[in-house]
């Protein structure tokens, strides 16, 4: 399933993310524009190759006490960098509103992946479009707060 839309380059992702991160932090976790009304977190992972902290703004849903993020990369045929980072090092930092906490990231296995993805699609239908735009299986990641 090839999507005819032009793909966002890595540099464009970084530029977009920098603006969203700044807005998130300046407004207690709220963002405007296309992010208006979306539940957002900032996820800081450790670079798989660099070992440096990398922060990504993501939408999320809740599953009990856990947060759930989808490694969709807007339907791109590649996994997002943050996904590769947390697979290499599942210890992450989450910023939720003005709160910051440590969490452990785990990739949801089937059938949990499908259950969580279906729940996300029900809340945010564009994620169904992302699934349709790629041949890859889009990973679902559960973020569990550490005590």
Superfamily of chain region 10-145: Electron Transport, Fmn-binding Protein; Chain A (2.30.110.10)
pLDDT at 95 over 90: yes
If residue 115 lies in a helix (H) or strand (E), which one and from where to where? helix 112-123
Domain ranges of the chain: 10-145
**pLDDT-based confidence at 12, cuts 50/70/90?**
low
pTM: 0.86
Contacts of residue 87, defined as CB under 8 A and 6 or more positions apart, other chains included, come to 48, 107
Closest CA to 53 of 39, 65, 42: 42
pLDDT computed for residue 18 by the predictor: 82
């Amino acid at each position: 399933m090839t999507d005819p839309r032009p793909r966002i380059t890595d540099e464009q992702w970084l530029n977009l993310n920098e603006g969203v991160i700044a807005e998130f932090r300046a407004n207690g976790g709220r963002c405007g524009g296309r992010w208006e009304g979306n539940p957002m977190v900032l996820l800081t992972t450790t670079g798989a190759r660099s070992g440096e902290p990398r922060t990504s703004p993501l939408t999320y849903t809740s599953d009990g006490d856990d947060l759930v993020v989808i490694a969709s990369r807007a339907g791109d045929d590649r996994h997002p960098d943050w996904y590769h980072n947390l697979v290499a090092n599942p210890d992450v930092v989450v910023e939720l509103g003005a709160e910051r906490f440590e969490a452990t990231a785990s990739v949801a296995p089937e059938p949990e992946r499908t259950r969580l993805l279906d729940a996300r699609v029900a809340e945010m239908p564009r994620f169904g479009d992302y699934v349709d735009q790629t041949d890859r299986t889009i990973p679902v990641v559960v973020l569990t707060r550490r005590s």
